[in-house]
Amino acid sequence: MSSVIRQFTVLSLFILAVRPDGELLDLKCQPTVGIVAQTTDIRCQYKTNGDTIINGVFLKKSTEENFIFQMYGNKIYGDKRFSLENPTNDPSLKISDTMFSDEGNYDYRVVTDRGEQTVQLSITVTAKYSAPVTGTLPVTLKNGRLADLYCNATDGFPGGFIHWFDKHKTNWTINSDLTKVPKDTNGRKSVALSSKLTFKSIDVDLAPFRCVVLNSKYEEDGESRILFDKSARSDEPKVLEPNTTKIIAGVMVIGSLIVGLLFALLFFRRKRSFHILNTDRRRSSAQPFLRDYDSAKTAEDDSEKP
């Protein structure tokens, strides 16, 4: 309670210090979207005639009583992640290392030497998606076969989208299934995205396919490409290169010559074997005739003896 009274007293002194002829500042702050772990800029401005000097600023969430950030004179109190863009004459704010807890509506009071004004501003906190991870099932795709393409992205918030494109920039997203899984780990909110694109008959000539991750505002957070291996075309007729054709033709000619020589050797060998066999047969048939001739000659000689 004492801190609230002290802050009210200090603020009252600043209001009294404002020149009586001070005019309304027409202070305005733009709605702000911050990204987790990055610096968030809250753009504010006012319209006055002449130079305006900032004497103090006071920032608090609309649902809370205590100020999150205060600056008056050369003194700064509260969350040190908050600061002024230019403490002298620019009411714009900065938040370093933005957190999800920074999201919400705020009351922002600016006190200058020409007047003071309180406005409401809003901060929405998002998280950027990590680089998408892709894969296929089966791992080695075949042209004209069933194929599933997968793409996963995590750590983003709020939930985003995954779109699919081929090399011709044709959008295949309508044929895909998208799953969103919300998570909350120690106040760190995120939505995991998982998409599957199914082809009953894949055309590998459409590769590479691109998996594009979009945030909740359809702004691109990242992409990954799926490249197909050359073996994906293994079911297609293979066209031989000119050098390969020449080599195969040469091998076929040499093979034909070798086969011809083998047949020639086999023919001459069989012919020679046949000739030898006939010669042996003629010799065998001539032996009985010679034996009869010798016997007859012997008998004739014996008859001539006295």
* pLDDT tens by residue, the chain, 306 residues: 445 445 544 444 444 444 444 455 789 999 999 999 999 999 999 876 667 889 999 999 999 999 999 998 889 999 999 999 888 889 999 999 999 999 999 999 999 988 899 999 999 999 999 999 999 999 988 899 999 999 999 999 999 999 999 999 999 999 999 999 999 988 889 999 999 999 999 999 999 999 999 999 999 999 999 988 766 665 544 443 445 445 555 556 566 667 566 666 666 666 565 555 555 555 454 454 445 545 544 544 554 444
DSSP-derived secondary structure letter, 32? E
Q: What is the pLDDT of residue 86?
A: 87
SS3 label, residue 296: helix
Domain identity same for 111 and 26: yes
| Domain-located, residue 300 | no
CA-based nearest residue to 69, from 41, 36, 110: 110
Domain identity same for 26 and 122: yes
* CATH code at position 99: 2.60.40.10
CA-based nearest residue to 24, from 148, 143, 118, 88: 118
The pair of structure tokens assigned to 165 is: 């494109």
Instruction: Provide CB contacts within 8 A for 103, sequence distance 6+.
Output: 34, 123, 124, 125
Q: What is the pLDDT of residue 8?
A: 43
The sign one gets for the Cα dihedral 213, 219, 221, 225 is: positive
Domain boundary among 233, 248, 276: 233
Domain identity same for 145 and 223: yes
- Amino acid type, 288: P
Question: What CA–CA distance (Å, rounded) separates 151 from 143?
Answer: 20
Q: What is the pLDDT of residue 14?
A: 45
| Domain-located, residue 90 | yes
| Domain-located, residue 119 | yes
Domain that residue 244 falls in: 240-289
Which residue's entry shows tokens 């863009």?
Answer: 85
| Domain-located, residue 303 | no
Q: What is the pLDDT of residue 264?
A: 62
The pair of structure tokens assigned to 188 is: 């760190």
Count: domains in the chain? 3
